[in-house]
């Protein structure tokens, strides 16, 4: 008996009108509601591209001296000019983006992890643990940021990893307070009680019920935190406690031996200054807009000031 | 009221104690051995152990902490490991300098922030509002040290003018003493002013929609009275809280501004001490800063209670 293989009738190609993909529509909607946030987003995107493809974008290596091009003003060939060691400033700014982004993302990842563990556990466990942890957080927050980081850097010594560690310990303290608040309000919901009644363990409740609901808060904190970390890194490098030269941190480009040459070659200062300000502006605006769209309750709770 | 003040003081004590513990522990995490460094460079003692004993660094850390706390309570901040100068006298010399800078910056922040915030709120969405908000965004994104560099750099290039870097003492010329802080204080205050302006504007906008403000309008009061007397009083309460936070921000910012303008205050002292790993100096500076910040938070809480009689602890 011959086996008959019955095939399904060929589906008639459906003529579905082409629609703008959902993600694109979301982004466009965001841009219309929050134009400043969208500008911030574009700046952040540009920074990410610069950081990722620094070796393709930069025409020269960040530390290579170009013969006969000392302190040249901006021109077609060196469109941000060159510095006192004959290095192309545009290339250094591009590689500087890589440092800022690396330090920024590493710090925010570490800080967010610490802040989430401290904040959620403090909210979930409560009691004496909560009180003790919150008093320590109080003490941390009451120090001025730069003084804490400087003291921590003195304790840890220079270097990329220590810089990230110092910055994230500082950032985590403030963020943990906000995350604790968000977790506390989530835990007041009946579904947490329902989960407990169903016999869910502590870990299950925290991971499946509490964490997803504080995620928006965590994301917003991280975005705004990125701008602040980039700023702090620039300030530290400026004071000479950041990443050691010749690696081109934007802050370091403004300090050290270059400072006395800036009077003769102002472009040496102008472009790193612009880069720092634009980066901080971009992350701040994007974070503010995300906060307004995702979680307006956070206004004023994230260290930035409500509009 | 007296009860409230006493309670608030009691709450401030534990946070001071924890902060002092942090202040004490931090420099001890320094990996390199400062004693070895000192012996090599200055040869203070016979050998490592002798020097350690001299400096009291050979005893267990908890014992060192209690002794340190005890001597602080008696007003003894120890002496610099390097210069052998008492830390307290050096702090006493430098604190007024940073204090002047910080106070002037705070005044600048308030004088710029609150009036512009009020005008921006009253003329919401007007040209001035738009202008003020743009400047606030600018003030929040351009860091103080970037601003300081631009301010010292651009006039030098355009008009060949540079800010004087020679520090004038109060005794030498009181006028010159205050004058030299104007530029650094304005730069330091601008970031805070931006924050205060945004908050004042936001809070005033909210308050202006309240019923009692409508009543005040309906009574036929003049705009100035409605806004400044009725609305601003309530709107300014959260601004006072932020002022307390700004003290910390300004103290941190002063470190970098002092460094740029060559002002011999606490910030410069701290940076030098950190480079030299001078424990007693780092501890002393941090402790003074913490005390100032805890005190200013306390002051904020008390001002709060005066501004809003409903607030009681």
pLDDT at position A110: 93
Q: A74-88 pLDDT, tens per residue?
A: 777 767 777 766 677
Residue A274 and residue A149: Cα distance in Å, rounded?
A: 24
Give the list of residues 6+ apart from residue B77 with CB closer than 8 angstroms, or none.
B71, B86, B87, B88, B91, B280, B283, B284, B287
Residue B239 and residue B297: Cα distance in Å, rounded?
A: 13
pLDDT at position B164: 61
pLDDT at position A85: 67
| Residue B299, pLDDT above cutoff 50 | yes
pLDDT at position A49: 87
Task: Supply B55's token pair.
Answer: 């400096």
CA B256 to chain centre: 12
Closest-approach residue (CA) in chain B for A224: B141
| Residue A303, pLDDT above cutoff 60 | no
Say if A140 is an interface residue toward chain B (CB within 8 Å): yes
pTM of whole model > 0.90?
no
Residue A42 and residue B65: Cα distance in Å, rounded?
A: 51
**Position B5 in a domain:** no
Radius of gyration of chain B (CA): 24
Residue B265 and residue B256: Cα distance in Å, rounded?
A: 11
The whole-chain average pLDDT of chain A stands at 79
Answer whether B252 sits within 8 Å of A273, measured CB to CB: no
| Residue B47, pLDDT above cutoff 70 | no
pLDDT at position B55: 64
Torsion of CA A236, A237, A241, A242, to 10 degrees: 100
Answer whether B145 sits within 8 Å of A150, measured CB to CB: no
Chain B neighbours among A 29-58 (CB < 8 Å)?
Answer: 36
**Position B69 in a domain:** no
User: In chain A, what percentage of residues exceed pLDDT 70?
Assistant: 83
Section B99-110 average pLDDT:
90
Residue B46 and residue B230: Cα distance in Å, rounded?
A: 72
Helix A160-187 / helix A127-142 crossing angle, nearest 10 deg: 130
Segment among A131-140, A222-231, A241-250, B156-165 with least mean pLDDT:
B156-165
**Position B33 in a domain:** no
**Position B257 in a domain:** yes
Section B18-29 average pLDDT:
75
pLDDT at position A301: 43
Cβ(A249)–Cβ(A233) below 8 Å: yes
Closest-approach residue (CA) in chain B for A145: B252
**Position B220 in a domain:** yes
Answer whether B30 sits within 8 Å of A150, measured CB to CB: no
In chain A, which ranges are E strands?
none
**Position B198 in a domain:** yes
What SS3 state is found at B79? Answer: strand
Cβ(B262)–Cβ(B202) below 8 Å: no
Q: Count how many residues are written for chain B.
A: 313
pLDDT at position B105: 92
Q: A12-43 pLDDT, tens per residue?
A: 666 667 777 778 887 787 777 777 788 888 88
Section B303-313 average pLDDT:
70
Question: Which H or E run includes A151?
Answer: helix A145-156
CATH number at residue B150: 1.10.3720.10
pLDDT at position A307: 29
Task: Supply A215's token pair.
Answer: 């995620």
Section B258-287 average pLDDT:
82
**Position B10 in a domain:** no
| Total of domains in chain B | 1
Least Cα separation, residue B31 to chain A (angstroms): 7
Segment among A219-223, A232-236, A292-296, B205-209 with least mean pLDDT:
A292-296
Is 0.85 exceeded by the ipTM? no
What SS3 state is found at A82? Answer: strand
User: In chain B, what percentage of residues exceed pLDDT 70?
Assistant: 84
Considering Cα of A62, then A63, then A66, then A70, what sign does the dihedral take? positive
Say if A27 is an interface residue toward chain B (CB within 8 Å): no
- Confidence label for A109 from pLDDT (cuts 50, 70 and 90): very high
Cβ(A183)–Cβ(A214) below 8 Å: yes
Residue A111 and residue A169: Cα distance in Å, rounded?
A: 6
Structural domain of B145: 87-312
Task: Supply A214's token pair.
Answer: 């504080």
Least Cα separation, residue A211 to chain B (angstroms): 29
Closest-approach residue (CA) in chain B for A277: B142
The whole-chain average pLDDT of chain B stands at 79
pLDDT at position A84: 67
Residue B253 and residue A86: Cα distance in Å, rounded?
A: 32
**Position B218 in a domain:** yes
Q: B55-91 pLDDT, tens per residue?
A: 666 677 778 788 878 887 787 777 777 777 788 888 8
Torsion of CA A183, A185, A190, A195, to 10 degrees: 10
Residue B196 and residue B239: Cα distance in Å, rounded?
A: 7
Chain B neighbours among A 195-254 (CB < 8 Å)?
Answer: 227, 231, 234-235, 238-239, 241, 254
| Residue B35, pLDDT above cutoff 70 | no
| Residue A302, pLDDT above cutoff 50 | no
């Amino acid at each position: 008996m011959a086996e008959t293989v019955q095939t399904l009738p060929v589906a008639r190609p459906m003529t579905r009108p082409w629609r703008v993909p959902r993600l694109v529509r979301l982004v466009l909607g965001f841009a219309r509601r929050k134009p400043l946030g969208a500008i911030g987003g574009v700046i952040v995107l540009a920074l990410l591209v610069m950081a990722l493809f620094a070796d393709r974008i930069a025409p020269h290596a960040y530390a290579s001296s170009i013969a006969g091009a000392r302190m040249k003003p901006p021109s077609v060939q060196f469109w941000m000019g060159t510095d006192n060691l004959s290095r192309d400033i545009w290339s250094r700014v591009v590689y500087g983006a890589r440092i800022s982004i690396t330090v920024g993302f590493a710090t925010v990842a570490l800080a967010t992890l610490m802040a989430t563990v401290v904040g959620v556990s403090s909210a979930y466990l409560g009691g004496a643990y909560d009180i003790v942890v919150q008093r320590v957080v109080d003490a941390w927050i009451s120090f001025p940021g730069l003084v804490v980081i400087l003291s921590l850097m003195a304790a840890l010594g220079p270097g990329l990893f220590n810089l990230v560690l110092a910055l994230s310990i500082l950032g985590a303290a403030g963020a943990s307070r906000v995350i604790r608040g968000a977790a506390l309000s989530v835990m007041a919901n009946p579904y947490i009680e329902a989960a407990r009644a169903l016999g869910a363990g502590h870990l299950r409740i925290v991971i499946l019920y509490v964490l997803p609901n504080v995620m928006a808060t965590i994301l917003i904190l991280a975005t705004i935190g990125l701008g602040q970390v980039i700023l702090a890194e620039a300030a530290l490098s400026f004071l000479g406690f950041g990443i050691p030269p010749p690696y081109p941190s934007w802050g370091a480009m403004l300090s050290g031996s270059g400072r006395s040459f800036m009077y003769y070659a102002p472009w040496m200062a102008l472009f790193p200054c612009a880069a720092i300000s634009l980066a901080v502006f971009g992350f701040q605006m994007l974070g503010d807009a995300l906060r307004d769209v995702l979680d307006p309750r956070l206004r004023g709770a994230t260290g930035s000031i409500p509009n | 009221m007296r009860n409230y003040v006493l309670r608030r003081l009691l709450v401030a004590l534990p946070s001071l104690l924890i902060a002092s513990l942090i202040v004490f522990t931090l420099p001890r995490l320094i990996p390199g051995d400062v004693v070895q460094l000192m012996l090599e460079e200055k040869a203070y003692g016979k050998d490592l152990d002798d020097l350690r004993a001299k400096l009291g660094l050979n005893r267990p850390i908890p014992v060192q902490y209690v002794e340190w706390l005890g001597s602080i309570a008696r007003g003894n901040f120890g002496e610099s490991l390097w210069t052998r100068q008492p830390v307290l006298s050096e702090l006493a010399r430098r604190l007024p300098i940073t204090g002047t800078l910080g106070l002037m910056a705070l005044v600048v922040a308030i004088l710029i922030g609150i009036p512009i915030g009020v005008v921006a709120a009253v003329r919401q969405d007007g040209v001035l509002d738009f202008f003020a908000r743009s400047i606030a965004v600018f003030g929040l994104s351009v860091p103080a040290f970037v601003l300081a560099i631009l301010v010292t750099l651009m006039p030098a290039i355009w008009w060949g003018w540079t800010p004087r870097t020679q520090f004038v003492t109060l005794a030498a010329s009181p006028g010159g003493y205050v004058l030299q802080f104007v530029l650094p204080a304005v730069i330091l205050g601008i970031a805070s002013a931006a924050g205060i302006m945004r908050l004042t504007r936001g809070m005033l906008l909210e308050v202006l929609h309240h019923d009692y403000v409508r009543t005040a309008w309906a009574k036929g009061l003049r705009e100035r009275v409605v806004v400044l007397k009725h609305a601003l009083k309530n709107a300014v309460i959260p601004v006072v809280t932020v002022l307390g936070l700004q003290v910390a921000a300004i103290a941190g910012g002063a470190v970098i501004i002092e460094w740029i303008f060559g002002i011999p205050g606490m910030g410069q002292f701290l940076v030098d001490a950190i480079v030299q790993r001078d424990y007693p100096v780092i501890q002393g500076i941090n402790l003074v800063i913490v005390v100032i910040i805890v005190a200013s938070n306390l002051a904020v809480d008390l001002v709060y209670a005066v501004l809003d009689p409903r607030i009681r602890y």
